[in-house]
Amino acid sequence: MTVLAIETSCDETGAAVVRNGTVLSSLIASQIQTHAEYGGVVPELATREHLHNLPSLTRLALESANVQPSDIDLIAATRGPGLPGALLVGLKFAQGFACALGLPFIGINHHEAHLYSAWVRGNPARAEFEFFKPNVSLIVSGGHTLLVHVRALLDHCVLGETVDDAAGECFDKSARLIGLSYPGGPQLERMAKGGNPSAYHFPRPMIEDVTDDFSFSGLKTAVAYFLRDHPDVLNDPEKRRDLCASVQAAIVDVLVSKTVRAAKRVRVDTVTVSGGVACNSSLRQALTESCQQAGLTLRVAEPVFCTDNAAMVGLLAELKAAHGTPPTDLDVEIEPGWSIDG
């Protein structure tokens, strides 16, 4: 089966072609430059960029996969959750494509697609679903922080999620307070290299809470108060490095501790991780160590499949089609608040 997939839930335009579990092409047009001057994603600009990028990106994805429109069996697109205008562009583009070619269409939940991106490996990248094991999956991005129990392929339930800011948002907002440019997560990680993660103590919100929920807005506020009381830290390169390392350590501690605890409690032996924050090497390292200690197998998505991409959308659509999921109606609408449990 050959699937053309489109992803436009936030600020990355993605187009991909997958065939029988293998990624033939996966292209991304990033909008980071557009949004950087505003310090965050501007929804109206994201919508316009998707409109501008999608036709040529889709053509390129087909060309680089050496696939003709007549070779396509199924079209897939992200239906939600995400920014309404951004989702609308991708969904309607994909439905129009499916309508014109008389092909079936499947609308995909963006988070459900993230759940399986850690199983995509190799060159060419392939979904290693034959190795699938029930797992606890951590999705950590700029918009979401979710812990999900994936009981079997296409069978999952949410264990916990953030009650306020996402982990990536906490990275970005703290980085901004420290004077780093958007998106702050990768910059804060770079700046934390060589810093002492124990130099300053920041709270680990909800780390001992009985639920699997997260909260990160208090941590960002703690960084703001710290800088109000110690403004000199920003003028000293070593202290600035220590500050970045200390903030990063607080975020990583919470994510790792709650993920491993949940995995032990629901008695799975595998942990998977995806989302932009999963690119963070300190998080990857801490998860590797904690999972090893707990006897858990860790699968972190490869960086290109951590961040938003259309390949994960196409692979999930193909999996669903193979499991008998019927096509989605061509007039179905976007679901900006679509819960992964719904």
Residues that bind ligand KG4 (CB under 6 A): 10, 141-143, 168, 171-172, 183-186, 189, 275-277, 279-280, 307-308
At closest approach, how far in Å is the CB of 45 from ligand KG4?
16
Nearer to ligand KG4, 40 or 134 (CB): 40
Q: Residue 223 Cβ, how far from ligand KG4 at the closest point, in Å?
A: 14
**Per-residue interface string for the shown chain with Zn ion, residues 299-338, x marking contact by CB under 5 A:** ---------x------------------------------
* Closest CA relative to residue 26, chosen from 300, 319, 310, 314: 310
Tokens representing 322? Answer: 């193979």
Q: Is 106 exposed, middle or buried (0-12, 13-18, 19+ CB in 10 A)?
A: buried
Phi, psi of 146 (to 5 degrees): -135, 140
Task: Spell out, one character per residue from 84 to 113, where the chain touches Zn ion: x when CB under 5 A holds, - when not.
Answer: ------------------------------
Cβ–Cβ contacts within 10 Å for residue 154, how many?
Answer: 15
> Does residue number 141 form part of the binding site for Zn ion (CB under 5 A)?
yes
| Binding footprint of Zn ion, residue count (CB under 5 A) | 2
- Contact segment (CB under 5 A) with Zn ion among 25-33, 81-89, 125-133, 138-146 equals 138-146
Bridge partners of 214, per DSSP, are 162
| Residue 307 identity (one-letter amino acid) | T
Identity of the residue, 143 or 195, whose beta carbon is nearer to Zn ion in the bound complex:
143
Residue with Cβ nearer Zn ion (242 or 308): 308
Structure tokens at 119: 């199983």
For residue 301, the 8-state DSSP code is: P
Residue 337 burial class via C-beta count within 10 angstroms: exposed 0-12, middle 13-18, buried 19 and up: exposed
Residues binding Zn ion (CB under 5 A): 141, 308
